[in-house]
Amino acid sequence: MTSDIEARIASVRRKYADLGLRLKSNAFERTVRSFESTYGITLPEDYRRFVLEAGNGGDGPPLYGLAPVQRSDQNSAGSVWPGFSPATEFSLREPWLWDNDPEVDESVGGPVDRVHKNGHIYLGTHGCGIECVLITAGPERGNVWLISGEGAKPESDGTGRLSFLDWIETWLNSGKATKSRSPGSER
């Protein structure tokens, strides 16, 4: 698997360069280890390797850019959810549109609150409250999900869920890969 990740990251770096897209400088190992230690997690391998070997943030996905690892504990507003815990299992296995569920409990500590703060790190935003997150705990670990005020769903290419590198590669190969809307504004 390591050589597969290495080859995929090399391909992603070439595609970024060919498309004139930017990535920030690589993260330092000590930065990644400090983040992991702070939250008691081990980041999914493809994401960890990406920030160490390709770039620690930069042009997206998502629309407003990819956040650096040291800001991945924040939401699109730039703050950490009270009780944020990427080591606590992410509670969803299937998409959930709680906005249409009249019996949903949206109170602090309720199921919606837990989706927003548990089992993932922040990758960036598409705007309009749509956040891209990487699941860090539970059966969905390693997959990218979208979470908004209305619901949550896994990113998919139509055939399956997308890991971090799958997500990046899908975007680069989509013909829609462009510079982030607000360079430097990503959280």
Of 91, 90, 112, 109, nearest to 101 by C-alpha is 112
Per-residue pLDDT tens over the stretch 49-91: 999 999 999 998 999 999 999 999 988 888 887 889 999 999 9
pLDDT in tens, 126-155: 999 899 999 999 999 999 999 998 899 999
Q: Of 48, 43, 49, which Cα lies nearest the Cα of 9?
A: 49
Where exactly are the structural domains of the chain?
2-173
Tell whether the model's pLDDT for residue 184 goes beyond 50: no
Write the pLDDT tens digit of every residue in 165-182: 999 999 999 988 888 876
Cis bond upstream, residue 62 (ω within 30): yes
Domain 2-173: give its CATH code: 3.40.1580.10
